[in-house]
């Protein structure tokens, strides 16, 4: 629940974003009126990417919603929680390999894992591994650069992702998400 003081602070922090977005919208409108080509291209790209994202978000949120309903907390804690050990990182990487959506759609899944009791470093490993080891991307990469390159990239990247995830968890603390109310929906 948001208290009065916190609500006021959130309103204040939103003001710079509103000002920035207003300037951006003004720039796009003036560019259209004045036939300024770079501004028109920016507006066209904004519309194209916004439509693209709106096509991706509904199915992704449906999948995350189904995950929240169908997968119970005990299962997530078993495979991704404190007691999962090194197998939790392996499970996070395996889950990341199956991801087909762009990275921005993976964030709600990371939040769902965290809300269900996954360890912070394992959630961070999932997010990092999603950017590196998606199966379609790997097939494309291996066909152009070779399987040897892909395996070397995995051998270097994945341990670094796990290491950085563990370091971040140690710096911010295991309960960072809960103590800062980052998973509260209210």
- Per-residue pLDDT of 77-94, as tens digits, reads 899 998 898 999 999 999
126 closest CA partner among 155, 165, 68, 169: 165
Q: Reduce the secondary structure of 41-105 to three states and give it as a string.
A: HHHHHHHHHHHHHHHHHHHHHHHHHHHHHHCCHHHHHHHHCHHHCHHHHHHHHHHHHCCCCCHHH
pTM of the full predicted structure?
Answer: 0.73
First to last CA, the chain: 6
What is the reported pLDDT for 2?
47
Q: In sequence order, what are the residues at sequence separation of 6 or more whose Cβ sits closer than 8 angstroms to the Cβ of residue 127? A: 96, 103, 106, 107, 110
What is the reported pLDDT for 93?
94
Q: Sorting pLDDT into bands at 50, 70 and 90, what band is 65?
A: confident
Q: Sorting pLDDT into bands at 50, 70 and 90, what band is 1?
A: very low
Q: In sequence order, what are the residues at sequence separation of 6 or more whose Cβ sits closer than 8 angstroms to the Cβ of residue 99? A: 106, 109, 130, 134
Polymer length of the chain: 186
Helix (H, G, I), strand (E, B) or coil at 130: helix
Domain boundaries along the sequence of the chain: 1-56, 71-186
Classify residue 133 as exposed, middle or buried by CB count within 10 Å of its CB (0-12, 13-18, 19+).
buried
Q: At what angle do helices 120-132 and 86-97 cross, to 10 degrees?
A: 40
pLDDT for residue 4 is more than 90: no
Given the structure tokens 């609500």, which residue do they identify?
Answer: 7
What is the spatial distance between Cα 29 and Cα 26, in angstroms, rounded to a whole number? 5
């Amino acid at each position: 629940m948001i208290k009065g003081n916190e609500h006021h602070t959130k309103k204040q922090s939103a003001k710079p974003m509103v000002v920035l977005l207003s300037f951006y919208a003004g720039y796009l409108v003036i560019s259209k009126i004045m036939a300024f080509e770079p501004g028109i291209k920016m507006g066209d790209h904004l519309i194209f990417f916004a439509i693209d994202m709106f096509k991706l978000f509904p199915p992704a949120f449906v999948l995350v919603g189904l995950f929240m309903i169908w997968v119970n907390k005990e299962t997530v804690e078993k495979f991704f929680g404190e007691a999962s050990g090194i197998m939790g990182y392996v499970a996070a990487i395996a889950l990341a390999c199956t991801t087909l959506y762009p990275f921005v759609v993976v964030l709600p899944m990371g939040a769902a894992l965290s809300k269900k009791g996954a360890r912070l470093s394992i959630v961070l490993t999932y997010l990092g591994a999603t950017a590196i080891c998606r199966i379609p991307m790997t097939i494309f990469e291996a066909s152009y650069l070779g399987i040897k390159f892909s395996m070397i990239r995995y051998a270097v990247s994945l341990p670094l992702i796990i290491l950085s995830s563990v370091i971040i968890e140690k710096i911010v603390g295991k309960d960072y998400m809960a103590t800062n109310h980052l998973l509260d929906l209210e």
